[in-house]
Amino acid sequence: MKKLQLSSVHKSLGAEMTQFAGWEMPVKYTRIVEEHLAVRNAVGLFDISHMGEISIVGEGALEFLQKVTSKDVSKLGIGMAHYTMVPNEQGGVKDDVVVYHLEEQDYMVVTNAVNATKIYEWFKQHTPSDIQIDDITNDTVLFALQGPRAQAVLQKLTDFELEDLNRFSNSFIKIAGVKALASRSGYTGEDGFELYVFKQLEDSSQGERIWNELLRVGGEEEIKPCGLGARNSLRLEAGLPLYGHELTEEITPLEARLGFTVKFGKGEFIGRKALQEQKEEGVNSWRIGLKMEERGIPREGYKLIHDGKEIGEITSGGFSPVLKTGIAMGYSSVDLDEGNGIMVRIRGEEKRARIVNWPFHKGK
């Protein structure tokens, strides 16, 4: 099992550790609900160094990324990033990733931890001779500073004017004297930043310094270290998909209602033909959101019932600390409008729910 470079720091803070995607990760430091609400109301700090980072450099980098991802990378100026898909030949999702344009002919792709090796090997299979592809995951520490007070905390440690950094924009800045890539992005539905500290094998203390300094200066803003438990409940409230649940190699972006990540007009890319055919013919199943109207927590695998028939199942579900009720996402074979009633089979009993659109909770 891989360990985070700050593993001992997390344990010293009382973190409960768990195994996730081959990594030992903090699942919580105190209580998941407490950490969840800290992000919604103030600010939380996550160590997400388990995420995969792949460097793609060279004259053919843009053409390569146009081929292996579904969105139009030519629209990305330097200092910009976007969310996109890596499709397979059938249009299913090998991974949902973020592509960063760092410098001229210099890009970085951030993958889910569970897919880091798979995507790196997939990229290597399609690598032309005029680009260099490197897996830099083990050389990178990545933190997520999330919540309405995230900017106030980070601004105390940098001279860079963070107000100038728009959503999905990024810039190399100094944080507590350490060079890092700051991206205005995250996975919580709140404002915030993802902070990349590279080449950590040379000096592992750099990442630890930023972590400690953020917690120190964030005290006035009621900052809390947060684990995977809160990260999952936050992304669920925000209606954000999780690979292996809402996205798989058998589920396409169109079925997941993520069609904005597919740009047919940019030209050929892997999976384009299959996705074009599906767009013309229509999908047979698609992602829905629901909110419980009866007491009960919807969980992954629970069946969805409409007019007495099973029409699908839940892929992610749980209790919303903000809404104080059960919420879920899943796939339905029936086209249901927002506001339609639906039943969830929970431990043998059918409980009332209602179709809602995400985000279930809109961040500040």
Structure tokens at 178: 């350490």
Residue 277 lies in a domain: no
Residue 248 lies in a domain: no
Which of 135, 168, 188 is where one domain is finished? Answer: 135
Identify whether 225 is preceded by a cis peptide bond (ω within 30 of 0).
no
**Tell me: the pLDDT tens digits for 280-299?**
999 999 999 999 999 999 99
Enclosing domain of residue 341: 286-356
CB 144 within 8 A of CB 51: no
102 & 168 share domain:
no
Residue 243 lies in a domain: no
pLDDT at position 363? 83
Task: Residue 184: give its domain's CATH number.
Answer: 3.30.1360.120
Residue 343 lies in a domain: yes
Q: Which residues on neighbouring strands pair with residue 169, listed in sequence order?
A: 80
Which of 63, 93, 112, 82 minimizes the C-alpha distance to 269?
63
Q: What is the pTM of this model?
A: 0.96
**Tell me: the pLDDT tens digits for 208-229?**
999 999 999 999 999 999 999 9
Residue 86 lies in a domain: yes
Domain count along the chain: 3
- Specify the 3-state DSSP secondary structure of 63: helix
27 & 173 share domain:
yes
The residue behind tokens 């843009």 is: 62
First to last CA, the chain: 37
Strands (E), the chain: 2-3, 16-20, 23-28, 43-47, 52-58, 80-87, 93-103, 106-111, 131-135, 141-146, 170-175, 178-183, 192-197, 223-226, 286-292, 303-306, 309-320, 325-332, 341-346, 349-356
CB 24 within 8 A of CB 7: yes
pLDDT at position 202? 54
Residue 36 lies in a domain: yes
- 317 vs 325: CA distance, rounded Å: 11
Task: Residue 87: give its domain's CATH number.
Answer: 3.30.70.1400
- HSE-up (13 A, CA, CB side) for residue 36: 22
Structure tokens at 135: 């897996």
Residue 253 lies in a domain: no
156 & 96 share domain:
no
**Tell me: the pLDDT tens digits for 44-103?**
999 999 999 999 999 999 999 999 999 999 999 999 999 999 999 999 999 999 999 999
Q: Helices 32-41 and 228-237 meet at what angle, rounded to 10?
A: 50
Residue 163 lies in a domain: yes
Which of 294, 299, 297, 288 minimizes the C-alpha distance to 340?
288
DSSP alpha helices (H): ranges in 45-180?
Answer: 61-68, 116-125, 150-155
32 & 179 share domain:
yes
Is 194 annotated as belonging to a binding site? yes
129 & 155 share domain:
no
pLDDT at position 205? 85
- 203 vs 179: CA distance, rounded Å: 12
131 & 157 share domain:
no
168 & 226 share domain:
yes
159 & 109 share domain:
no
- 212 vs 153: CA distance, rounded Å: 12
131 & 168 share domain:
no
11 & 25 share domain:
yes
Task: Residue 348: give its domain's CATH number.
Answer: 2.40.30.110
pLDDT at position 200? 61
CB 93 within 8 A of CB 85: yes
pLDDT at position 364? 74
Which of 95, 118, 135 is where one domain is finished? Answer: 135
pLDDT beneath 70, residues of the chain: 200-204
Q: What is the CA radius of gyration of the chain?
A: 21
